[in-house]
Structure formats: C-alpha cells, structure tokens
Structure 1
Amino acid sequence: MNVENRVIELVEEKIAERPDLFLVDVQMHGGGLLTVLIDGDNGVAITDCVAISRHVGFHLEEENTIEQAYNLEVSSPGLDMPLKSLRQYQKNISRSLNVKLIDGSKHEGKLLAADDSGITIEENIKEKGKKASVIQNVIPFADITETKVLVSFK
C-alpha cells in the first residue's frame, strides 16, 4: 500500500464520527512533504487539524510507513485552492466562481447547483451595445479543468 492510500485510510478513520468534515486531498511531495487537506461543511477548526495530524503521524510512525524524514501538514484548503470534490462545490452554492474549461474558455458566475454530473452557474452575459442578460449554464465536470471561488469584499 502506498503512503497516500494509507493516509487516506487514517484520515477517514479519524473523521468517521464527524460527518461535517471531509477529506479533500492527500499528496506526498518530493523532499518529504506530506500534505493533507480537509474541509468541513461549516469550516475547519485548528483543533480538527491538530487531532488529525496527531492521529496520522502516530500511526505512520508506529507502522514505519515512511522510511525517510518527512513533514506532515494538515490544513484546510485556502481560498486560492481550486475546488476538487463535489462536496466542496455543494458547500459553495450561492457563491461566485471562476470556472476554466478544457477548451480554454472561462466562465464566471454564481453557483446554483452541483451534482454528480456537473454544476449549474448563473452568468451575466454582456454584449457590446446591449443590456446584459442572465443565463444559466450547465457545465459537466468532465469539461472543467479548474474552479476557484471568487472572494467578494462587499
């Protein structure tokens, strides 16, 4: 079993009794950096990150899963991190997104819905010399290369 799969098991074991938390990503980087990203329906507290870090670190050390020195970082994804899971999309319904597609096009709009097949966003389309129109755009996940939440300071 590779390191990332074992870490996924350990994180899921630790958050099993916390249905509000979910795993976003696990990556073993070169140079011995192991990152774990978790998120929550209502955010993630530092105490959650600490508890998961201690649980994962303890078991990795006990099992000698990683033979070389490593650094374990457990955190929530920052605002600049792309969305990776359906649950992250669902958590961000009603927020504005920037969506990049495989064909190179970009779409910006309010997230209205997200399900297993894709997302629905509400976009303001502005044409020169015309009044802006609002459309609903359904975008399959297979067409999306990256989605980021737009931060509003209103």
Structure 2
Amino acid sequence: MSQNIAKQTEEIVKPIVEELSLELVDVVYEKEGPNWFLRVYIDKENGVDIEECGIVSERLSEVLDEKDPIEGAYFLEVSSPGVERPLKKELDFEKNVGKNVYVKLYEPIAGDKEFTGELIGIENQIVTIAYRDKTKTKKVEIPYEKIAKAHLAVMF
C-alpha cells in the first residue's frame, strides 16, 4: 500500500518539480509511531532552499487535496535529501562518481553485505567501489540489481 501511494504521489509531483527546474529524488510514504508521513525529496545542482521546498509543498498539497489519493491523515514534508542523499537510479550513480558512498546489498559479495568507499563508476549495470580493508584499498564490483540501499556517505 505505501509503495503504491508513493508511486501515485511521484506521478503527481513530477510535473510540478520539472516546471520549477528541480529534480525529484525520492518519494516515501511511511509510518512513524501513530503517524503517517508523505516525504518528498527534491534537489538541484547547488541544492534547494526552503522557499523552493515551500512552493513544491503548496502546489503538491493543492493537487493532493483535489485528487485525494490517500485515505486518512498524514503529514506532508518536502525537503532536500541532505548530504547523505539516496542513490536510487543508475543516473544517480553516474552523477556521483568520485564521491563517497554507502551501499547495502541483498546478499553478500566477498563475504560482506555493506560497503563504504569511493564510487569509481557504473558500467553495464555493475557498480564499482574502492574501499579500505584494514591497510589496503580494495575494489568491489556489485551488480546493480543486488543493491538494496545506497546513499552518499560523509567520511570523517
């Protein structure tokens, strides 16, 4: 149900975001405690500001009230994906080559299900990451379909 609502919302918000020359990063409909949240993440080249989030929120809210695809009460949040932006599409990986990423897999590769390191690239649906293993830098090639979750990683 929640994925269906997220998909419906994505179709509704996409034209609003495109009209404002913004990128739709993700739409999530999830329950936290007793409350439901519809979260829409938007971005652009140098980041979005609170005013842009407010405009998208207002326009989306109007259309959601009109079409009413969600039963019951929920909170609508429109924001930037932040510094640990999720990587959902192959294009997200392509645009972030050279940056640090965290990747969680459905099943282990080389004995691990989680990798944090530099995104070397994506080619033929294979994501390559250079990561530190004790004192050595190693590379791992991950088939795109084995990625359960991925986002940019802040390294300290």
TM over 0.5: yes
Q: Aligned pair 1:147/2:155, yes or no? A: no
Distance 1:108 1:5, change over 3 A: closer
Q: What CA distance in whole angstroms lies between the structure 2 residues aligned with 1:42 and 1:3? A: 29
Mapped contact 1:38–1:77 kept (Cα < 8 A): yes
CA root-mean-square deviation? 2.8
Q: Aligned pair 1:90/2:98, yes or no? A: no
Deviates more, 1:75-84 or 1:106-115: 75-84
The equivalent of 1:71 in structure 2 is 75
> What amino acid maps onto 1:95 in structure 2?
K
**Aligned-pair distance for 1:113?**
1.4
Q: Which runs of 5 or more structure 1 residues have no equivalent in the other structure?
A: none
Q: Aligned pair 1:137/2:140, yes or no? A: yes
Mapped contact 1:96–1:110 kept (Cα < 8 A): yes
Q: What CA distance in whole angstroms lies between the structure 2 residues aligned with 1:146 and 1:39? A: 19
Larger Rg: 1
**Hey, which of these two has a bigger chunk of strand by percent?**
2
The equivalent of 2:10 in structure 1 is 8
The equivalent of 1:40 in structure 2 is 44
Distance 1:109 1:66, change over 3 A: closer
Write out per-residue CA displacement over residues 90-120 of structure 1, whole angstroms, 9 at most, x where no aligned residue.
3322112232332261323211213561312
Mapped contact 2:7–2:27 kept (Cα < 8 A): no
Write out per-residue CA displacement over residues 117-150 of structure 1, whole angstroms, 9 at most, x where no aligned residue.
13122234446xxxx3x44432112222233322
Percent pairwise identity? 32
Mapped contact 2:9–2:27 kept (Cα < 8 A): no
Distance 1:19 1:137, change over 3 A: farther
Q: Which runs of 5 or more structure 2 residues have no equivalent in the other structure?
A: none
> What amino acid maps onto 2:99 in structure 1?
R
TM-score (norm. length: structure 2): 0.73
